[in-house]
Amino acid sequence: MCGIVGLHLRDASLEPRLGSLLTGMLGQMVDRGPDSAGVAVYGNPVFSPAGESSVSVLDAPSDLVTAVRDALGVTVGALDLAPTTVLHAPVPATLLADTVRTLAPTATVIGFGDDVTVLKGTGDPRDLAETFGLPAASGRQGVGHTRMATESAVTAAGSHPFAVGPDQCLVHNGSFSNHLSIKRELEDEGVVFDSENDTEVGARFVAKHLAEGADLEKALRLLGERFDGFYTLLVSTSDSFAVVRDPIACKPAIVAECDAYVAMASEFRALAGLPGITDARIFEPEPDRVYVWRR
């Protein structure tokens, strides 16, 4: 059992409150996932300064900023949000991520892009939100997850979101039953994995199809055709926010949609504190249907 929350803002006047709203939503899901948590924030000028890409790293060596600066020949900024370190620099996101992987092979890149910052850790999700500075963070889209580990160890790397493609994030409640066979297929095609988590297999499957030209709806339909199990997924990119459930809708999900935002959570209590919630259209996503909202 895990908890999912997500907020896709349509009203720019709410952007200064994104982090505080997401923090409140995450706090309501602690009992669904008390051992670790992660968030992804889109459009925050501190985490991801305009004109720069950013990369989120676990187990970053102390000299990583200097090493990356020397390798790329540009100014590199950093935020220490232990256990996550966020680096940003005026270079393409893929170049920055690849440079970090080369210079720090024992570290783990947990997110990268021009627009997104991913933060993960173990412990009480409410404490982690404070460590990340989430309550004060602005932005236009956010995704969060509280984890109760079942099929892999309690580690920051095993927590969600899994963000394996540029500006992409995936969070998951449930389990895939055939992920190991799909993982072997992806590895045969050259895909490299960072964890034993079944969710990472789903994230890399989606990222592969997006890289090959599929849109997000198509990539998630393909996932539904290949993956067995019980699941609710929330998937985000820089311009999209998508929800899909397995064919029998085994895992809970609730959506609130209004002029100001689209919000999703595992349970309504995570949505109850949002502004204007009484005027929102509240619905439970249908099984095996992909819902996508775009900027």
Provide the annotated active-site residues.
2
Question: How distant, in Å, are the alpha carbons of 17, 257, 272, 282, 291 from that of 278?
Answer: 19, 11, 8, 9, 22
DSSP 3-state assignment of 27? helix
CA geometry: angle 80, 42, 277, nearest 5 deg: 120
Q: What is the C-alpha radius of gyration for the chain, rounded to an integer number of angstroms?
A: 18
Residues forming beta bridges with residue 80, ordered by sequence position: 85
How far is Cα 76 from Cα 163, in angstroms, rounded to an integer?
21
Calpha distance 93→50 (Å, rounded): 13
3-state helix, strand, coil in the chain (%, to 5): 30, 30, 40
Phi-psi region of 52 (alpha: psi -120 to 50; beta: other; left: phi over 0): beta
